[in-house]
């Protein structure tokens, strides 16, 4: 298997920096997910690792071997794309065995490998079916089977589930985890779906504008994002960010001038920050709508615009200034238009630098 190391990896298309001097280490057998919005450079990075794109600068290592100048076929990788790239007129068996036949593997060994991988993916009953007869979920299983039948050192997956409906996506996420653990293959997976990343990854690499914004395990990135981009991008819905400033009286005010009340410990912490203007980050699930304050220390006034249901949870929408925020609501749509308070757990808030967006 293989450890992957990227050193100052750069890829330019003319004046456009698709990948901008990124550095990353991927451990042997690790499942790493590149996560970010469209155009952030994650697929280009994957294609450079695969050898499908020539790098502009920097180096790619598999273990101690520099692979910059190696053809894809010489890197012992397998790649699964969003579109299956299967031969629709051929049967499943021939699609899976195709790379083995190209390597001139003896027929008996080919049969053993096809049987082994088809049983691992639960598609042994499909071997005599034509690709054109299969539903999309089974086609993606065949594409995965063809990729891993050669026992590659590195498995690369470029948004492999984006063409599937949600039912198939859920099933295939489980399949990918099962296969990766069974084969213990170093895996790099590209997606813009943060839920997918949170479920699959040992380590998430958050990218934006061709750069790595932050890396870490899913729980760490969710609970303690080190910058505003990660906090907003990871989470469904993302983190709330409130601009806050100290007044001359020592009071703390939010975006629209509304005063925010803190427990004394966190008030002193906020007042002790080196900057008078900063950002407060709070996940919506730690911000609760209440119509009355009953002994709480941490709150500010809001007016709900409406209530929406996301993943079977009621979220209230409210504005401060011209920015929309979310909080949890116990109840339903009848709370829309009501005034009250956003109450929060101060141990779940984070402070960020207003200018640079970094955690304080």
Q: Per-residue pLDDT tens for 18-27?
A: 999 999 999 9
Q: Identify the pLDDT of residue 2.
A: 86
CA–CA separation, 200 and 231 (whole Å)? 19
Higher pLDDT, 166 or 91: 91
In a domain, 360, yes or no: no
Mean pLDDT of all residues in 25-35: 97
pLDDT at residue 217 greater than cutoff 90: yes
Q: How many domains does the chain have?
A: 2
**89: which 2 tokens?**
């007129």
* DSSP helix/strand/coil, 235: coil
Phi-psi category of residue 41: left, alpha or beta, with phi > 0 → left and psi -120 to 50 → alpha? left
Confidence at 92, pLDDT banded by 50, 70, 90:
very high
Q: 175-183 long-range CB contacts below 8 Å, 24 or more apart? A: 175/121, 175/141, 175/144, 176/144, 176/200, 177/31, 179/120, 179/121, 179/144, 179/148, 180/31, 180/155, 182/120, 183/148, 183/151, 183/155
Q: Which of 39-53, 83-97, 123-137, 329-343 has the lowest mean pLDDT?
A: 329-343
Determine the straight-line distance between the first and last CA of the chain, rounded to whole angstroms. 39
Q: Say if residue 260 is in the same domain as residue 195.
A: no
pLDDT at residue 334 greater than cutoff 70: no
In a domain, 346, yes or no: yes
pLDDT at residue 256 greater than cutoff 70: yes
* pTM score of the predicted model: 0.90
Domain around 169? 4-233
Q: Identify the pLDDT of residue 204.
A: 98
> Phi and psi of 17, rounded to 5°?
-95, 95
pLDDT at residue 258 greater than cutoff 90: no
Q: Say if residue 44 is in the same domain as residue 190.
A: yes
Q: Say if residue 205 is in the same domain as residue 249.
A: no
* DSSP helix/strand/coil, 153: coil
In a domain, 268, yes or no: yes
Q: Say if residue 23 is in the same domain as residue 158.
A: yes
Q: Say if residue 100 is in the same domain as residue 181.
A: yes
Residue for token digits 């589930």?
A: 161
Closest to 44 in 3D by CA, of 140, 194, 156: 156
Pick from 200, 216, 233: which residue ends a domain?
Answer: 233
CATH of the domain at 74: 3.40.50.300
116-162 pLDDT, tens per residue?
A: 999 988 899 999 999 989 988 888 899 999 999 988 999 999 998 88
- Give the sheet arrangement for strand 203-208, strand by strand: 77-80, 154-158, 186-191, 31-35, 203-208, 211-216
Higher pLDDT, 259 or 60: 60
Closest to 46 in 3D by CA, of 91, 14, 82: 82
303-322 pLDDT, tens per residue?
A: 999 988 888 889 999 999 88
* DSSP helix/strand/coil, 7: strand
Q: Say if residue 172 is in the same domain as residue 318.
A: no
Phi-psi category of residue 201: left, alpha or beta, with phi > 0 → left and psi -120 to 50 → alpha? beta
275-298 pLDDT, tens per residue?
A: 889 999 999 999 999 988 888 899
Higher pLDDT, 92 or 169: 92
Contact residues for 312 (Cβ-Cβ < 8 A; gap 6+): none
Q: Say if residue 167 is in the same domain as residue 250.
A: no
Mean pLDDT of all residues in 29-43: 96
pLDDT at residue 5 greater than cutoff 90: yes
CA–CA separation, 174 and 128 (whole Å)? 25
pLDDT at residue 1 greater than cutoff 60: no
The Cβ of residue 265 has, within 10 Å, a number of other Cβ atoms equal to: 11
Strand 299-310 versus strand 339-344 pairing type: antiparallel
Q: Say if residue 137 is in the same domain as residue 180.
A: yes
Q: HSE of 40 in the Cβ direction (CA atoms, 13 Å)?
A: 19
pLDDT at residue 333 greater than cutoff 60: no
């Amino acid at each position: 298997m293989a450890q992957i190391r990227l050193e100052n990896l750069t890829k330019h298309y003319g004046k456009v920096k698709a990948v901008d001097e990124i550095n990353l280490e991927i451990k042997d057998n690790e499942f790493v997910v590149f996560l970010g919005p469209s155009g952030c450079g994650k697929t280009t990075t994957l294609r450079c690792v695969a050898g499908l794109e020539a790098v502009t600068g920097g180096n790619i290592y598999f273990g101690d071997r520099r692979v910059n100048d190696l053809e894809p076929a010489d890197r012992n990788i397998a790649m699964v794309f969003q579109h299956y790239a299967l031969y629709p007129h051929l049967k499943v068996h021939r699609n899976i065995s195709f790379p083995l036949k190209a390597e001139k593997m003896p027929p008996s060994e080919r049969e053993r490998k096809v049987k082994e991988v088809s049983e691992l993916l639960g598609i042994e009953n499909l071997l005599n079916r034509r690709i054109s007869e299969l539903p999309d979920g089974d086609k993606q299983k065949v594409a995965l089977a063809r990729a891993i039948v050669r026992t590659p050192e590195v498995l690369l997956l470029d948004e492999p589930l984006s063409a599937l409906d949600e039912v198939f996506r859920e099933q295939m996420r489980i399949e990918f985890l099962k296969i990766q653990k069974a084969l213990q293959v170093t895996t790099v997976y590209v997606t813009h779906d943060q839920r997918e990343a949170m479920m699959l990854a040992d380590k998430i690499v958050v990218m934006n504008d061709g750069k790595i914004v932050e890396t870490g395990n899913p729980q760490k990135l969710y609970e303690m994002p080190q910058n505003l981009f990660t906090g907003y991008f990871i989470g469904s819905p993302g983190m709330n960010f409130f601009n806050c400033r100290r007044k001359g009286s020592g009071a703390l005010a939010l975006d629209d001038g509304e005063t925010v009340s803190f427990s004394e410990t966190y008030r002193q912490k906020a007042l002790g920050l080196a900057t008078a203007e900063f950002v407060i980050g709070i996940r919506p699930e730690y911000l609760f709508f209440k119509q009355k304050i009953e002994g709480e220390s941490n709150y500010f006034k809001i007016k709900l615009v409406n209530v929406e249901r996301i993943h079977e949870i009621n979220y209230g929408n409210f504005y401060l200034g011209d920015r929309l925020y979310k909080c949890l609501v116990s109840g339903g749509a009848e709370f829309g238009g009501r005034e009250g308070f956003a109450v929060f757990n101060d141990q779940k808030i984070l402070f960020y630098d207003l200018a640079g967006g970094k955690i304080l």
